Amino acid sequence: MKILITGGTGLIGKILVEKLKLKGHEVRVLTRKKTADPLEFYWNLKDQFINESAFKNLDAIIHLAGASISERWTDSYKKELFSSRIDTANLLKKYCIANNVHLKSFISASGINYYGTFTSDEILDENSGIVQPDFLANLCKDWENAAYNFADLSDRIVCLRTAVVLAKNSGAFPLLKKTVDFNIGSGVGTGNQWMNWIHIDDLVDLYIFALENSKIQGNFNAVADDLPSNQLFMKKLAKVCRKFFLPINVPAFVLKLAFGEMSSIILEGTRASNKKIKSKGFDFKHRNLEEAFTTLV
pLDDT of residue 67: 94
Identify each DSSP E strand in 112-181 by its residue range.
Answer: 123-124, 157-162, 164-166
Given this model, what pLDDT does residue 70 score? Answer: 86
Pick the CATH number of 2-231+256-296 from 3.40.50.1100, 3.40.50.740, 3.40.50.720, 3.40.960.10: 3.40.50.720
Those residues with Cβ within 8 angstroms of residue 194's Cβ, 6 or more apart along the chain or in another chain: 119, 227, 228, 229, 230, 269, 270, 271
Q: In tens digits, what is the pLDDT along the chain, a chain of 297 residues?
A: 999 999 998 999 999 999 999 999 999 999 999 888 999 999 999 999 999 999 999 999 999 999 999 889 999 999 999 999 999 999 999 999 999 999 999 999 999 999 999 999 999 999 999 999 999 999 999 999 999 999 999 999 999 999 999 999 887 888 888 888 888 888 999 999 999 999 999 999 999 999 999 999 999 999 999 999 999 999 999 999 999 888 888 889 988 988 899 889 989 999 999 999 999 999 999 999 999 999 998
> Rounded CA gap, 79 and 76, in Å?
5
User: Residue 135 — φ and ψ, nearest 5°?
Assistant: -60, -50
What's the confidence (pLDDT) of residue 169? Answer: 84
CA-to-CA distance for 189 and 69, rounded, in angstroms? 19
pTM of the model: 0.94
Distance CA 56, CA 100 (A): 9
Q: Using the 8-state DSSP alphabet, how is residue 237 labeled?
A: H
Q: Which sequence spans correspond to the domains of the chain?
A: 2-231+256-296
Predicted pLDDT at 280 = 96
Residues in a beta bridge with 28: 4
pLDDT at 282: 97
CA-to-CA dists, residue 147 to 87, 93, 240, 282, angstroms: 11, 9, 39, 22
Task: Report yes or no: 59 and 27 within 8 Å, Cβ to Cβ.
Answer: no
Mode of pairing for the β-strands spanning 2-6 and 60-63: parallel
Residues in the chain: 297
pLDDT at 145: 98
Helices 289-296 + 230-241 axis angle, to 10? 40
